[in-house]
Amino acid sequence: MNKILHWFVKNPVTSNLLMAVILLGGVVASFDLKTQIFPPAKLNAVDVTIEYDGATPEIIARNISIPVENALKNIEGIKNIYSFAVEESGTTTVFFYSDVDIDKKVSEIKRKIDALGSLPKGIERPQIAETKDRDRILDIAIHGNVDLEALTRIGEEVKNRLISETSASDVKLFSAPKREISIEVSADDLRRTGLTLKDISNAISVASVNVPAGSIGHGSNQISIRGNERAYRPDDFEYISVVSKKTGEKILLGEIAEIKFDRKDVNFISRFNGENASGLEVFISEGQDLLGVREEIGHKIEEIKNRLPQNVGITIWLDDSKDIAQRLTMLLDNALAGLCLVFFVLILFLNLKLAFWVCTGIVISFTGGIWLLPAFDISLNHLSTFAFLLILGVVVDDAIVVGESVYNRQQKNGPGAKSAFLGVKDVWKPVFLGVLTTIAAAVPGLMFKSIIGSFLYDISFIIVAVLCFSLIESLLILPCHLVTHKPGRDSRLSYIIKMPRRQFQKGLRVVILMIYRPLLKKAVVWRYFSLSVFLSIAVLSAGLVISGKVPMQLFPNMVEGQIITSISMNRGTTAEEMHSTMLRLEQSFESVLPAIISDYDRVQDGNASLSSLIKNRASFIVDNDIYMLVELDSDALKTIPVEEIESRWQKELGVVTNAKKVSFASSEDGDANSISLKVFGASSEQITLHVKALKQKLISTNGIFNFTVTQGTEQKEFLIDLLPEGIRLGANVSSISNQLSEAFYGTRVDRLPGVMETMDVNLRLPDSERLYVESVEDFPVKILDQENLVPLSSVATLRDAQTPGYIERINGRQVATVNVNFDEDQWTRFELLGVINDLYLPGIRSEFPNFSYKLDGDAEEEDEFLSESFRLYVIFFFVIYAILAIGSNSYLLPFVILTAVPFGLVGAILGHSLFGLEVNAFSIMGVLAAAGVVINDNLVLIDQINKLKQKGLQSSVAILHGSISRFRPIVLTSLTTFLGLLPILFETSYQAQFVIPMAISLAFGVVLATFVTLLLIPSLYEIGLDISRFISFFRNGVEPDKSRSTIQTRM
């Protein structure tokens, strides 16, 4: 290694070319960098979706979900099988372990489903595909005081243009229900003609055809023959003939049916800022550049806007691309501010030229990391941007340690290549080992298999890449640039700061000699007392966490720039009641807004009005669900707590009658103070009993509120029972059910192709005959080969019954989802789960032996992530220990070096307490980053002490001189790291909410760990020598050398 270092110092051209290549590579690669919201998640799952027109959730579960589960459950590598049955559709999602080849499993599942012969007739073709995670980047509202039909047509045109003329992977239209051709035949006409809807459906199928009939000729003279009588418009269907069963004459379909373009029968209302609206959701697929696609869409919308009618507007809102753009801008602005502060401090400690090249080294290291990102398909996203912040301290530390060592050598030996080489030679080993241990700490992030763990891949890759370039820069490039530096000779540019720097360095010497040296002497002499002091600080910080003064949550819910309210109404709620509830929801928000504005009317710029900071709002009704979204401007999030708006709005709304669920959310993942459980049962009735037993236990617990159950609400249905007359005539329930389904739900007689989507042709009774039970009882049905149709009431009766609104199953067992909110001042998620398992579960199982539950959603994924983290980090902790043990040639010194790492967590806890924030996963990342800096400093310090001992100095003298000689680079590293993060610590934008916990941990962890390095590590080093002396005494019977104590006292 020394030969390599010497060669680069003696060959400045090589070093400069290497630097130029890194910088050029980073600049060129920056043009190919992709931006995404989050890195793509590898779900390793397959979706099987089967549609069954007119089927209830119970029929879907019994006839589709259960057969599919049974067919797939024996496939190797399955982790979980989730099934969800709703009206007319069933979806089964099969999750596989991460080491399974998902493409092969998709093929295997297709073969299993194709071979499944027990699925009912009339289902749609099963849709089988890998579960993909798409990024929604923005919404588009098309709004105006015009009817919804006109807005929907404009929305369809905009959707078609965005898909065909931009790079958007998908655009979803959220507007009036899908268009169809509706053919409606009254029951009276069916009686008059003796026809059934099945007869009419068959006639349409025969008449409306477009089929190939072969070809004539050969080669280039070949001519195809095709029969094309397919109906595409209502007029075409009117001329299809059917034969009356009573008279035998031909009748045109238009004579007995009303045929028209229509929309599917779904209750739908959509409003945007008080106007009717249709909406579009724009998606990008994995690998696409978010900001690039956003720019394309912006240009296209501006082009479309100029061609819209004057009373129609088009607005881009809920734009997630702004989040990542603002995040990058915020980080860049704060990085530049931090770099300026670092540069200023380096000038005071070192020299203008040395400060310049140290700061340049930071830029080179980061640029090198950027160079590799496109080649390994790493994007700039909410998580990967953290990595550059995390690694700042280690990169600064590497450059400072090497630069300061060269600076010291040049002060002793004068400028030149020899001093530069000796300077880097003195510290390359601890610098290399420190970076290697940090890389070892980051490598597990490249190996996670869990869904949450996979998100750490980008962060870990960037850390490893930047650290590798930091080694190259600090060991091979930086020394070469310092060869011609002459300490004590200042350039004209540096003459201005010459006197301040001299005064600062004079003061620094006073601090070292008059404050630090006496304090160090006492700390080493009273080493066990010193250890107890630091342990007391650690216990104090632990008490802050245990007492809840500093709360902990693994994955916090980050506040979004929006509030989402949803109300699920009970089935059977009328359209008028739905509309009235939506208006009440809108009015309740309007009512609280003035009060909020009056309470928070002082904004940072002093001029803005909060009323203008509520950017957009939308409300809509879809079937039995009501939604309202409020988009907040980012400036509003600096001024008002979003939770306050949410709380006041919820209070103003009050109780909503006939609602089965009301929820408010201002974060991406819902409430932070909640847990979600999946409660199992053999049937809906048993699940209800299990949930009730759990509720009785939890609802009586202090700090527990909002116990809600998401279960398929029982809905009314009619069951068909045959009468004796029906049995005598040979009627069967299956045939009658099919006829009623064709009449009241409708039957699809054709599916017409379109440019962007298909259009169904549906045959059924008119709307007016599908509203009342009497229409069902009077409906004419055909019984076997009977020529005449008979009323349903003559052969069967309708019986009231209940059926679930939907059915959810996990691994073959039916479940209900229970959500519980808790007071964060009294509970953490893990404490509450412990109470459920240890106190409540035995009592519930004494009454219901089959009671069981599992964590849902984030909680389950967090549990899997923690288990995987424990396994990986135990292994890599040993790897880190091995690296340090080999490098120090000692079994004990690695523990001394690693002692400061826990104190990084102590500093982080104290910092979070000071800022009033909770400790979360981002905080722990900052602690790990601080650990990298501290390990570097400890390695350099202990390496210096060992070198002094090798020169013959006694241990106590070596500890004193080694610690004093490393005081300046250690303090300089901590100070530059802290000041570099200082702008982010006081950043007020809501974009910084992700970054601030990490910055607090890194900044305060490094600060406290600095005291540990300068005071506790020397004490621990001496304690280690004490242990060695006593071991030697017990092994060899030799008295410990007490002269050292006398020397220490007189140091």
Count of CB atoms within 10 A of residue 80's CB? 13
More confident position, 636 or 788: 788
Non-local (6+) Cβ contacts of 862 within 8 A are 452, 554, 555
Q: How confident is the model at residue 1048 (pLDDT cuts 50, 70, 90)?
A: very low
pLDDT at 81: 92
pLDDT at 603 over 50: no
- Alpha carbon distance 307, 237 (integer Å): 35
pLDDT at 43: 78
pLDDT at 739 over 90: no
pLDDT at 605: 47
- Alpha carbon distance 8, 11 (integer Å): 5
Q: Which of 255-264, 642-651, 800-809 has the highest mean pLDDT?
A: 255-264
pLDDT tens per residue across span 939-982: 888 888 888 888 888 888 888 888 888 888 888 888 888 887 88
- Alpha carbon distance 385, 335 (integer Å): 12
pLDDT at 554 over 80: no
Q: How confident is the model at residue 300 (pLDDT cuts 50, 70, 90)?
A: very high
Note the residue count of the chain. 1051
Radius of gyration of the chain from Cα atoms?
37
pLDDT at 602 over 70: no
Q: How confident is the model at residue 489 (pLDDT cuts 50, 70, 90)?
A: low
Query: Among 216-220, 348-352, 475-479, 767-771, which stretch is predicted with the lowest mean pLDDT?
Result: 216-220
pLDDT at 111: 92
More confident position, 498 or 354: 354
pLDDT at 46: 93
Q: Could you give the percent of the chain with pLDDT greater than 70?
A: 88
- Alpha carbon distance 861, 79 (integer Å): 13
pLDDT at 1038: 54
pLDDT at 92 over 90: yes
pLDDT at 714: 65
pLDDT at 68: 93
pLDDT at 711: 63
pLDDT at 436 over 80: yes
pLDDT at 755: 57
What DSSP line would sit under 135-184, residue for residue?
Answer: EEEEEEEEEESS-HHHHHHHHHHHHHHHHHHS--SEEEEESSPPEEEEEE
Average pLDDT over residues 504-532: 87
SS3 (DSSP) at 225: strand
Average pLDDT over residues 322-334: 78
pLDDT at 93 over 90: yes
Q: Is 287 left (phi over 0), alpha (psi -120 to 50) or beta?
A: left
pLDDT tens per residue across span 568-589: 887 678 888 888 999 999 999 8
Average pLDDT over residues 440-455: 78
Average pLDDT over residues 197-219: 74
pLDDT at 469: 92
pLDDT at 453 over 80: no
pLDDT at 1050 over 60: no
Average pLDDT over residues 456-475: 88
pLDDT tens per residue across span 310-326: 889 999 998 888 877 87
- Alpha carbon distance 889, 743 (integer Å): 86
Query: Among 206-220, 620-634, 1019-1033, which stretch is predicted with the lowest mean pLDDT?
Result: 206-220
pLDDT at 606 over 50: no
- Alpha carbon distance 141, 139 (integer Å): 7
Domains parsed from the chain with CATH numbers: 2-32+324-553+863-1049 (1.20.1640.10), 45-130 (3.30.70.1430), 135-178+267-318 (3.30.70.1320), 179-213+226-263+715-804 (3.30.2090.10), 559-667 (3.30.70.1430), 674-713+812-823+825-852 (3.30.70)
pLDDT tens per residue across span 617-650: 899 888 888 999 988 877 666 667 777 788 788 8
- Alpha carbon distance 635, 607 (integer Å): 12
What DSSP line would sit under 601-618, residue for residue?
Answer: ---TTSS--HHHHEEEEE
Q: How confident is the model at residue 607 (pLDDT cuts 50, 70, 90)?
A: very low
701 class by beta-carbon count within 10 Å (0-12 exposed, 13-18 middle, 19+ buried): middle
- The pTM score is 0.75
pLDDT tens per residue across span 668-689: 544 556 777 888 888 777 888 8
Average pLDDT over residues 804-826: 80
pLDDT at 216 over 70: no
E strand or H helix that includes residue 314 = strand 312-317
Q: How confident is the model at residue 1042 (pLDDT cuts 50, 70, 90)?
A: very low
Beta strands at 78-86 and 807-810: parallel, antiparallel or unpaired: antiparallel
Non-local (6+) Cβ contacts of 959 within 8 A are 524, 945, 1018, 1021, 1022
* Buried b / exposed e along 34-55 (16+ C-beta atoms within 10 A): bbbbbbbebbbbbbbbbbbbbb
Q: What angle do CA 588, 590, 591 make, to 5 degrees?
A: 65
- Alpha carbon distance 140, 195 (integer Å): 47
Q: Could you give the percent of the chain with pLDDT greater than 90?
A: 10
- Alpha carbon distance 193, 183 (integer Å): 16
3-state helix, strand, coil in the chain (%, to 5): 55, 20, 25
Beta strands at 796-804 and 45-51: parallel, antiparallel or unpaired: unpaired
pLDDT at 1049 over 60: no
Q: How confident is the model at residue 1044 (pLDDT cuts 50, 70, 90)?
A: very low
659 pairs with which residues across the strands? 569
pLDDT at 105: 92
pLDDT tens per residue across span 365-392: 989 989 999 888 888 887 787 788 778 7
Q: How confident is the model at residue 304 (pLDDT cuts 50, 70, 90)?
A: very high
Supply the mean pLDDT for the chain.
81
Average pLDDT over residues 819-847: 78
Average pLDDT over residues 290-299: 90
pLDDT tens per residue across span 402-435: 887 887 787 777 777 888 888 888 888 888 888 8
Q: How confident is the model at residue 143 (pLDDT cuts 50, 70, 90)?
A: very high
Average pLDDT over residues 183-195: 89
Query: Among 36-45, 434-443, 486-495, 533-542, which stretch is predicted with the lowest mean pLDDT?
Result: 486-495
Average pLDDT over residues 730-739: 86
pLDDT at 1047: 35
pLDDT at 302: 92
pLDDT at 858: 56
More confident position, 922 or 171: 171
Q: How confident is the model at residue 15 (pLDDT cuts 50, 70, 90)?
A: confident
